[in-house]
Amino acid sequence: MSAKSCPNTAAFLKGAHAAWLAAGREGDAIGYTWPVVRRRKLSLERIDARLGQYSFDASTPIAPGSWEGAYWSAQTALTALDAVLGGAPTAFALCRPPGHHAGADYLGGYCYLNNAAIAAQRAHDAGAGPVAILDVDYHHGNGTQDIFEARGDIFFASIHADPATDYPFYWGHADETGSGEGAGTTLNIPMPRGTRIDAYLAALETAASRITAWGARFLVVSFGADTFSGDPISHFAIETEDFAAIGARIAAMDLPTAIIMEGGYAVGDLGGNVARFLSGFADKP
């Protein structure tokens, strides 16, 4: 019966708990991230309802200071952006909380306001464009993609862990290339777990070439240091010294560049990894 009326649920449900155990978990299997796309606008009163309406996972608690923190994180991004608009070749915004998982109308992935998207929009509004966003965090920048995927005037490229295996799962697949006026101005390059610097730089070459060919004149970088081999929640094999090469390749695009800090969870190594990445911009004109 179930195979007829609900074949997908049945097949999933039969194997779900065993898969949970096989993944090294204990207790009951439970979800924490959901594919919330193309939602209908609803007028909902209850805070519980609105929490779901404005988020896509259970990883983004709202504390009393969340708004203030998110607000000033975005202001930090804008300060860096303004420095570049003012003539600095590169500026780095040490944003906390990060932003690239937050969409125009949803929170998620420890992100509340999309700092990179906010900065890119201001660069666009200031006439500095065409603006491209390059996301080199370990995770796909689903929020940024959602904000711009139907727009042809801002390019979004992301190199990230394959969403078939890694958060945020429901976005960042290679066949997501933009829609409507934005068709062709989204580029997703999913990479397998274990990716090392050589393969990473090859993907970066592809992304940089596409951005250059598109005619970008301004670049916003979503930089995550969670591609680091020692990151506790990620699975690439980028070493500390590799970050300089990643930074250098982006610097070689020779565009005014605002760098926005995203993820990075190996706290002890984080400063060194970020510094090494930024060192790649040292020779930038």
Chain residues that interact with Zn ion, rule: CB under 5 A: 137-139, 224, 226, 263
Output the CA–CA distances (angstroms, integers) from residue 74 to 68, 81, 146, in the order listed.
Answer: 10, 10, 18
Q: Which does 263 bind (CB under 5 to 8 A by kind): Zn ion, its own copies, none?
A: Zn ion
101 a catalytic residue: yes
**Among all chains, which residue has been given the structure tokens 């960042």?**
172
Stretch that binds its own copies, among 45-53, 149-157, 205-213, 261-269 (CB under 8 A): 45-53
Which one is catalytic: 100, 101, 140, 235?
A: 101
Residue nearest to Zn ion (CB): 263
How many CA atoms lie within 13 Å of 231's alpha carbon, on the beta-carbon side? 25
Contact segment (CB under 8 A) with its own copies among 103-111, 202-210, 229-237, 256-264 equals 103-111
Dist CA 182 CA 190 (whole Å): 20
Q: Which does 103 bind (CB under 5 to 8 A by kind): Zn ion, its own copies, none?
A: its own copies
Binding residues among 133-172 for its own copies as defined by CB under 8 A: 147, 163-167, 169-170
Least distance CB 281 / its own copies (angstroms)? 25
Within residues 171-200, the interface with its own copies by CB under 8 A covers 173
Exactly one of 26, 32, 87, 127 binds its own copies (CB under 8 A); that residue is 32
CA atoms of 207 and 159, how far apart (whole Å): 8
Look up tokens 């007028």; give the residue: 43
Angle between helices 242-251 and 267-279 (to 10 degrees): 40
Look up residue 209 and give its amino acid: S
Q: Smallest gap, in angstroms, from Cβ of residue 54 to Zn ion?
A: 21
Q: Binding its own copies by CB under 8 A: which of 13, 126, 202, 233?
A: 13
Task: Give the span between the Cα atoms of 192 and 150, in whole angstroms.
Answer: 27
Does position 213 bind its own copies by CB under 8 A? Answer: no
Using CB under 8 A as the binding rule, whether residue 53 contacts its own copies is answered as: yes
Range 214-273, binding its own copies (CB under 8 A): none
| Residue from 26, 35, 127, 285 binding its own copies (CB under 8 A) | 35
Distance CA 69, CA 257 (A): 24
β pairing state of 131-135 and 90-93: unpaired
The letter for the amino acid at 167 is Y
Stretch that binds its own copies, among 41-49, 209-217, 234-242, 264-272 (CB under 8 A): 41-49
Question: Which of the residues 56 through 95 are near its own copies (CB under 8 A)?
Answer: 56-58, 60-64, 66-67, 70-71, 74-75, 78
- Position 209 contacts its own copies (CB under 8 A): no
Contact 119, 260 (CB under 8 A): yes
Task: Find out whether the peptide bond into 97 is cis, omega within 30 degrees of 0.
Answer: yes
| Omega of the bond leading into 89 within 30 degrees of 0 (cis) | no
Using CA atoms, how far apart are residues 39 and 137, in angstroms rounded to an integer? 26
Apex 92 CA angle, 80 and 186, nearest 5: 90
Residue 17 in the binding site for its own copies (CB under 8 A): yes
User: Is position 126 an interface residue for its own copies (rule: CB under 8 A)?
Assistant: no
Of 82, 83, 89, 105, which lies in the binding site for its own copies, with binding defined by CB under 8 A? 105
**Residues designated as active site:** 101
